[in-house]
Amino acid sequence: MKTIDESRAPETEQALQGDRPRLLAEGKMSWYQIGAILLCQLINMFDGFDVVVASYTAPAIGAEWQVAPERLGLFISASLFGMTAGSLFLAPMADRVGRRPTVLLGLAIITAGMLLSSGAASLGWLVALRVVTGLGIGILFASLTTMVAEYSTDQRRDLAVTFLHLGYPVGATVGGLLAAWILSVTGDWRPVYLAGGAGTALLILLVFLRLPESLDFLLDRQPPGALDKVNRQLTRMGRAPLTALPRQHAPGTARAGVRTIVSGDLARRTFYLWAAFFTSLLVVYFLIGWTPQILVLSGLSEQKAIVGGVILNAGGGCGMLLLGFLAKQFRLERLIALYFVVAALFMIGFALVSADVSLTILFALTFAMGFFSFGSLIGLYALATRVYPTEVRTTGVGWAIGIGRMGSIVGPSLAGLLIGLEWDRGTYYFLFALPLLVGAMAALKVGATRGQTGEAG
């Protein structure tokens, strides 16, 4: 543990007793903070697997129970309904009872949903349990993003949030390989859910033992014993303790923030940002949810189709990482628009190749679709934080994600209806490439309408 420099105690106390804990925003990050962020990323990796497990197991479930494609579309998108509800109605608990208890609640809900799914006897029960699982994922998505941002310095915050979201495709990729192995060994989809539930259960114990409460929450809400809890964490960070807590924020800020982002100069930027998020998540979740099933319908085996889903997510992770580095060199909204357009071009290319094309070319196009579509999405998260001033930034980003979640519901459901019409593979990908062009224009408009309240790109 680092030795506290007592000569810096007055500076430390002054920095933490203002409107914001400036020392935490501007100081050097400790290993204690880094450890908390890495644990959040590990949880997000499991979230990635829990979200896409339905698409990996859909072919086996459809074959066993003779399920029509349109009904499989409801099954694949069911967790998205839960995620939307969890983000909107349950995640706000974190602002009242704390981030850490809310994370534990989300993990407990996911564990129950996954374990019960392994014993479901009908598609109806599976759909209901996917909604339950989605509730927990929705709680975690919002809570983890908040915790990572609050445990990061301003200098490292964008990088930390990027790596948090990078955990999603990593988890989906590793989880896909695990699902393919389990299916090949057992020939049954149920053990896949059992494995996911067991892993999430272990995370509950890990979070209970190792994940600290957010300092921002303790300083802002000041629950009983807050000063002692804050000082214990400051000591572990190698910083001087406080003699008193800072003043609390005025109540009602969140409600005022909602009105702010849809009025005045921010209204147009909010609309364009919502449009970009909606189109991005509509396409991304179509790709995640239906690419393995469409590959099966095109003649690939279930195992090769799952590999295709893994390659899609692996490409997404690479695209996210590259965009994070490129964002320092180019205007972010232009980079996002470029990603949108290139993703659309690769989807059209995927649509035009014949069914007997080599597996290498098919998987290369799949990788490229994931690379640019996922990359544009991670760019939107960063862009949203630049659009809104500090006092409404969390509200603006949260509502943008919520609108995007509606697109994530529409995408897989619409695809299921279209696939029920038994069109050829190319038609689906050509149609879903078109929203990406709308997203590109919306991203550029966000940049064009940024004024005094947003940061320069």
CATH number, domain at 170? 1.20.1250.20
Instruction: Kindly state whether residues 332 and 378 are assigned to the same domain.
Output: yes
Q: Are residues 238 and 255 both part of a single domain? A: no
Tell me which of 425 and 429 has the higher pLDDT: 429
- In this structure, of 335-339, 355-359, 394-398, 433-437, the range with the lowest mean pLDDT score is 394-398
More confident residue, 370 or 265: 370
Q: If you search the block for the tokens 């494609």, which residue do you land on?
A: 69
Percent share of the chain, pLDDT over 90: 38
Please give the pLDDT value at position 301: 82
DSSP H or E stretch at residue 21: none
In this structure, are 290 and 201 located in the same domain? no
- Transcribe 49-113 into DSSP letters: HHHHHHHHHHHHHHHHHT--HHHHHHHHHHHHHHHHHIIIIIGGGHHHH-HHHHHHHHHHHHHHH
In a domain, 2, yes or no: no
Q: Are 208 and 183 within one domain? A: yes
Q: Does residue 359 lie within any of the structural domains?
A: yes
Shared domain check, 68 and 37: yes
- What is the pLDDT, as a whole number, of residue 391? 54
- Structural domain includes residue 62: yes
Q: For the whole model, what pTM was predicted? A: 0.76
309, 406: one domain: yes
- Are 303 and 442 part of one and the same domain? yes
Q: What is the mean pLDDT of the chain?
A: 83
Distance of alpha carbon 417 from alpha carbon 436, whole angstroms: 20
> Mind listing the pLDDT tens digit for each residue in 332-343?
899 999 999 999
Which pLDDT score, from 0 to 100, does residue 405 have? 87
Lowest mean pLDDT among 59-63, 185-189, 251-255, 443-447: 251-255
Task: Give the residue from 194, 224, 249 where a domain finishes.
Answer: 249
My answer on whether 288 and 236 are in the same domain is no
| 63 vs 87, more confident | 63
Those residues with Cβ within 8 angstroms of residue 418's Cβ, 6 or more apart along the chain or in another chain: 427, 428, 431
Query: Within this chain, do residues 274 and 218 fall inside the same structural domain, yes or no?
Result: no
Domain that holds residue 360: 250-449
Whether 6 is in a domain gets the answer no
For residue 55, the one-letter residue type is S
What pLDDT does 451 receive?
A: 45
- Residue 20 pLDDT more than 50? no
Pairwise pLDDT comparison (394 vs 279), residue with the higher score: 279
Is the domain of 240 the same as that of 122?
yes
The count of structural domains within the chain is 2
Whether 1 is in a domain gets the answer: no
At which of 249, 269, 287 does a domain end? 249
290-330 confidence digits (pLDDT tens): 888 778 877 788 888 888 888 998 898 899 888 877 877 78
Token pair 């807590």 is found at 245
Least confident of 189-198, 200-209, 292-301: 292-301
